[in-house]
């Protein structure tokens, strides 16, 4: 079945890597990027909708029907943020977008980029876990929570975190230890989950690598 995918976060490292991966897949028919700024990429499959505020989607709701999947890659760092602010920008924002989308494309598969360590005792891990739990209960055809660790960017990416530019040489070691994957693998794993499902609703790094290869 041809995939019609909504993507958020195309101007971030994860979202851009997923976007570039999926634009090259023959079974992806349409990519609708919803973002505050243009991604900087052009492709016949790519359409972009710019919104100033993700909490105010009324002007684009009519555009959200008929999609097979949403890959939610938008996110913010918890560094320097109090729990209330981080919760608003992570839990509240994600659930608002998801609740809007499920009204228009309930048949879609929702794939959420969470993070390795989610569910731990730290503030961000608790907020992410709550986000995962409530997304799984929303009523999409299926929902999967992806918990990537150290990520290797795709070629041609413009948005790469400095940490990955400085520490990229560590990837082979992190990979061998089971804590690293490429952004290509992450994108393919999400696509495969949308197409035919995944073994479990929460996918850690090793699960992501295995699903990408199937």
Residue 53, number of CB atoms within 10 A of its CB: 8
Residue 161, number of CB atoms within 10 A of its CB: 14
Edge-first strand listing for the sheet containing 46-50: 46-50, 28-35, 3-8, 69-72, 109-113, 142-146, 202-203
Give me the tens of pLDDT residue by residue for the chain, a chain 214 residues long. Answer: 899 999 999 999 999 999 999 999 999 999 999 999 999 999 999 999 999 999 999 999 999 999 999 999 999 999 999 999 999 999 999 999 999 999 999 999 999 999 999 989 999 999 999 999 999 999 999 999 999 998 988 888 787 877 767 777 788 888 888 899 999 999 999 999 999 999 999 999 999 999 999 9
What pLDDT, in 10s, does the model give residues 21-41? 999 999 999 999 999 999 999
Helices within the chain (DSSP H only): 13-23, 83-87, 93-104, 123-136, 162-167, 171-176, 183-196, 205-213
Q: Which residues contact 187 (CB under 8 A, 6 or more apart)?
A: 17, 18, 19, 20, 21, 22
Q: Residue 50 has what pLDDT? A: 96
User: What is the C-alpha separation between 3 and 129, in angstroms, rounded?
Assistant: 28
Q: Residue 172 has what pLDDT? A: 84
Let me know: does 101 contact 68? Beta carbons within 8 Å.
no
Nearest Cα residue to 113 out of 153, 156, 150, 71: 71
Residue written as tokens 């070629």?
155
Q: Residue 163 has what pLDDT? A: 72
What pLDDT, in 10s, does the model give residues 132-153? 999 999 999 999 999 999 898 8
User: What is the C-alpha separation between 108 and 139, in angstroms, rounded?
Assistant: 10
Tell me if the domain spanning 3-213 has CATH number 1.10.565.10: no
Q: Taking the model in full, what pTM does it have?
A: 0.94
User: What is the C-alpha separation between 67 and 197, in angstroms, rounded?
Assistant: 16
User: What is the C-alpha separation between 117 and 147, in angstroms, rounded?
Assistant: 8
Q: Residue 154 has what pLDDT? A: 83
**Length in residues, the chain:** 214
User: What is the C-alpha separation between 102 and 36, in angstroms, rounded?
Assistant: 21
């Amino acid at each position: 079945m041809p995939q019609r995918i909504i993507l958020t976060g195309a101007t971030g490292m994860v979202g851009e890597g997923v976007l570039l991966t999926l634009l090259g897949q023959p079974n992806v028919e349409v990519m609708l990027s919803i973002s505050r700024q243009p991604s900087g990429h052009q492709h016949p499959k790519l359409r972009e909708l710019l919104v100033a505020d993700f909490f105010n989607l009324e002007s684009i709701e009519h555009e959200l029907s008929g999609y097979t999947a949403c890959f939610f890659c938008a996110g913010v760092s918890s560094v320097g943020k109090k729990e209330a602010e981080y919760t608003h920008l992570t839990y509240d924002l994600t659930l608002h977008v998801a609740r809007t989308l499920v009204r228009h494309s309930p048949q879609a598969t929702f794939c959420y980029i969470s993070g390795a360590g989610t569910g731990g005792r730290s503030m961000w891990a608790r907020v992410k876990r709550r986000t995962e739990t409530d997304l799984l209960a929303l009523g999409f055809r299926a929902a999967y929570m992806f918990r990537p660790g150290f990520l290797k960017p795709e070629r041609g990416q413009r948005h790469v975190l400095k940490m990955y530019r400085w520490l990229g040489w560590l990837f082979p070691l992190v990979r061998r230890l089971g804590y690293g994957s490429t952004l290509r693998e992450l994108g393919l794993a999400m696509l495969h989950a949308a197409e035919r499902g995944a073994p479990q609703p929460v996918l850690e790094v090793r699960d992501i690598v295995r699903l990408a290869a199937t």
